[in-house]
Amino acid sequence: MASAASWSGRTVLDLGCGSGFHLPRFAATAGRVYGVEPHPALLRLAARRTRSLTNVSLLAGTAQAVPLPDASVDVVHARWAYFFGPGCEPGLAELDRVVRRGGAAFVVDNDPERSTFGGWFRRGFPDVDPVAVERFWSLHGWSRERLEIAWTFDSRADFEAVVRIELPTDVAEEVLVEHPDATGVDYAVNLWWRRF
């Protein structure tokens, strides 16, 4: 992301920031960081995480109704939050409104067509159509970076807990039986991004 559009000294919006995990990293070099999150309990966690960071502001809101003025943000980051392809057009209209000309937006999501985790995801969520998702983003002028990441855990118990969070129960149990010694997995990600 930084090689495509630096946020150093600039204004970053983390849309659907959840518990704010990524906010301190942006805040380390950004001028100002906004975290927008609809879920009150997660917003409170994000506020607690960033309470010592004077350049971070947290706002209740959604991708469809971003609580920021027009042309007020340089870089938007939405990671596994709302922007999952067809259906997210209201959020894209909000990006057009809040991102300054010359700014950029990044969306991080699963790539079900690659990696061991991608195969588990396809089994768990067969209704997700990767071809339709790719067509959606390219029709809207977004580019894709194919990334390979990995889950690594210190213990089998942690790995099992996260598999059970991420996948429907039946698929999670199948996966755990099929990979009895795993404490991590290779994981393919699509980074969708565009300039404004």
Ligand X SMILES: C[S@@+](CC[C@H](N)C(=O)[O-])C[C@H]1O[C@@H](n2cnc3c(N)ncnc32)[C@H](O)[C@@H]1O
Binding mask 71-110 for ligand X (x = CB under 6 A): --------xxxx----------------------------
Does 42 bind ligand X (CB under 6 A)? Our answer is: yes
142 CB-near residues (< 8 Å, 6+ apart): 107, 192, 193, 194
Q: In which residue are the tokens 């150093």 written?
A: 8
45 CB-near residues (< 8 Å, 6+ apart): 18, 19, 20
Whether residue 70 contacts residue 99, with contact meaning beta carbons closer than 8 Å, is answered with no
Whole-angstrom CA distances from 11 to 7, 15, 22, 65 are 7, 13, 14, 18
State the nearest-atom distance from the C-beta of 142 to ligand X, in Å: 18
State the nearest-atom distance from the C-beta of 54 to ligand X, in Å: 22
> Which one of residues 62, 72, 116, 183 is an interface residue with ligand X (CB under 6 A)?
62
> Which one of residues 4, 6, 29, 38 is an interface residue with ligand X (CB under 6 A)?
38
Nearer to ligand X, 80 or 125 (CB): 80
State the nearest-atom distance from the C-beta of 181 to ligand X, in Å: 27
State the nearest-atom distance from the C-beta of 53 to ligand X, in Å: 16
State the nearest-atom distance from the C-beta of 154 to ligand X, in Å: 19
> Which one of residues 7, 12, 13, 16 is an interface residue with ligand X (CB under 6 A)?
16
Treating both helix axes as pointing N-terminal to C-terminal, what angle do 169-178 and 116-124 enclose, rounded to 10 degrees? 150
Residues that bind ligand X (CB under 6 A): 15-18, 21, 37-39, 42, 62-64, 79-82
